């Protein structure tokens, strides 16, 4: 196998190749032009353009190291010097120096656009001992999220001069360590902001969705084992930090949760024959699932009738804006704000099995009718 450079990249197209390519394009752009003889004035022009194109390509591919060194001096803002360490260096060395200088010039020093804030924030977070490479951030302009992140309420006050940067931190990171990381990033952004701009850095709000369902295990597989496998599969699929969708670059922030995808992930789990009555049982900003006020009770494929299929009250009533239904009224999607993350857990105490006779049973095997 030849690992050398591609010969087509080391030279430009020849005169004959350029003429052939130009003539081949004539039918597409000028169908009435049918005389391709060398005596035709149009062919003469094609040959003339091919001649000069070949000359320019030849010159362009033969940039000398001295010319590259002169370009590097222009980038660095200095004049020629007899003591230049790169004088007489091979072309490859000068190329590397030019690339390094261009990268240095393209580095963001001032935060203006949301992309600037996000890049500077991720770089600052990676330099902190509690940060990590590849940490994701999102910039929310004209919002002060310090008092709205971490609640189920969707509203956030407008603040024209404020910019909030949200970091996707691991929920297992202790609160003090997460606060220290946010303060470090905020201090790093402060001198890079424009005049009158106030930048706030907060950790992302994690919305926890707890689901319940009826599962038909495959023969010989205990329901408790299947429940463990389903919970692990949901974590792998929907974890906003290290889940499959986040790993493929789907972007963790504001990603809606489609209940049909939850049912599909459960059904594809090893040991599951089929699944029925997938229920979005609770929505919570913490992992405590015993609070009635966080109950929702929306089932895939069941019309959501207020007061019957749903239970409103407390935090749940504030979260009802998150539930999107189709034109028939069936619940389809859980909506998020652009700065929120969502993960999915299995509510173990609400999982029921389906026996071959269609009866439901709990983890202990007793009939539930």
- State yes or no: pLDDT of 40 exceeds 90: yes
pLDDT digits (tens, 9 = 90+) for 74-122: 888 877 676 777 777 887 888 888 888 888 887 778 888 898 999 899 8
pLDDT averaged over every residue in the chain: 78
The answer on pLDDT for 346 being more than 80 is yes
Tell me what pLDDT residue 21 has. Answer: 92
45 falls in which pLDDT band (50, 70, 90)?
very high
What are 234-246's pLDDT values in tens digits? 988 888 887 666 5
Judged on CB neighbours under 10 Å (0-12, 13-18, 19+), 168 is buried
Lowest pLDDT segment from 165-179, 267-281, 287-301, 352-366: 287-301
Task: Report pLDDT for 259.
Answer: 85
Pair type for strands 272-284 and 295-299:
antiparallel
Q: What angle do CA 8, 49, 34 make, to 5 degrees?
A: 105
Domain range summary for the chain, segments of one domain joined by +: 7-62, 114-203, 207-361
Which DSSP string corresponds to 112-155?
Answer: -SHHHHHHHHHHHHHTSTT--TT--EEEEEEE-TTTTTTSS---
Question: Mind listing the pLDDT tens digit for each residue in 275-326?
Answer: 888 877 777 776 554 444 455 655 554 444 444 444 434 444 445 677 777 6
* Architecture of domain 114-203 in this structure: 2-Layer Sandwich (3.30)
Max alpha carbon distance in the chain (Å)?
A: 95
Q: At 50, is the pLDDT very low, low, confident or very high (cuts 50, 70, 90)?
A: very high
Q: Output the pLDDT for position 322.
A: 76
Residues 131-152: tens digit of each pLDDT:
676 788 999 998 888 876 655 5
């Amino acid at each position: 196998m030849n690992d050398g450079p591609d010969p087509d990249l080391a030279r430009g197209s020849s005169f004959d190749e350029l003429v052939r390519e130009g003539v081949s394009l004539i039918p597409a752009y000028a169908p009435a032009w049918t005389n391709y003889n060398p005596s035709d004035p149009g062919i003469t022009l094609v040959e003339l353009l091919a001649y000069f194109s070949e000359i320019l390509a030849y010159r362009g591919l033969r940039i000398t190291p001295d010319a590259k060194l002169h370009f590097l001096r222009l980038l660095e803002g200095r004049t020629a010097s007899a003591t230049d360490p790169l004088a007489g260096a091979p072309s490859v060395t000068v190329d590397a120096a030019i690339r390094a200088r261009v990268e240095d010039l393209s580095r963001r020093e001032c935060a203006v656009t949301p992309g600037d804030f996000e890049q500077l924030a991720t770089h600052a977070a990676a330099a902190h001992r509690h940060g990590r490479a590849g940490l994701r951030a999102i910039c929310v302009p004209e919002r002060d999220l310090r008092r709205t992140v971490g609640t189920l309420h969707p509203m956030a006050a407008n603040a024209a001069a404020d910019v909030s940067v949200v970091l996707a931190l691991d929920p297992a990171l202790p609160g003090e360590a997460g606060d220290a990381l946010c303060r470090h990033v905020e201090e790093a952004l402060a001198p890079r902001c424009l005049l009158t701009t106030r930048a706030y850095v907060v950790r992302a709000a994690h919305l926890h969705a707890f689901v319940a369902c009826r599962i038909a295990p495959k023969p010989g597989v205990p329901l408790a084992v299947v429940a463990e496998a389903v919970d692990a599969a949901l974590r792998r699929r929907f974890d906003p930090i290290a889940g499959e969708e986040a790993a493929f670059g789907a972007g963790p922030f504001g990603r809606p949760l489609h209940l049909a995808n939850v049912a599909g992930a459960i059904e594809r789990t090893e040991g599951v024959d089929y699944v029925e009555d997938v229920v979005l049982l609770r929505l919570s900003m913490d992992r405590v699932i015993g609070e009635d006020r966080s109950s929702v009770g929306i089932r895939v494929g069941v019309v959501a009738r207020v007061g019957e299929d749903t239970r409103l009250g407390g935090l749940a009533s504030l979260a009802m804006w998150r539930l999107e239904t189709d034109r028939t009224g069936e619940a389809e999607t859980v909506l998020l704000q652009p700065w929120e993350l969502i993960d999915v857990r299995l509510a173990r105490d609400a999982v029921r099995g389906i026996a071959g006779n269609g009866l439901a049973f709990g983890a202990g095997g007793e009939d539930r009718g």
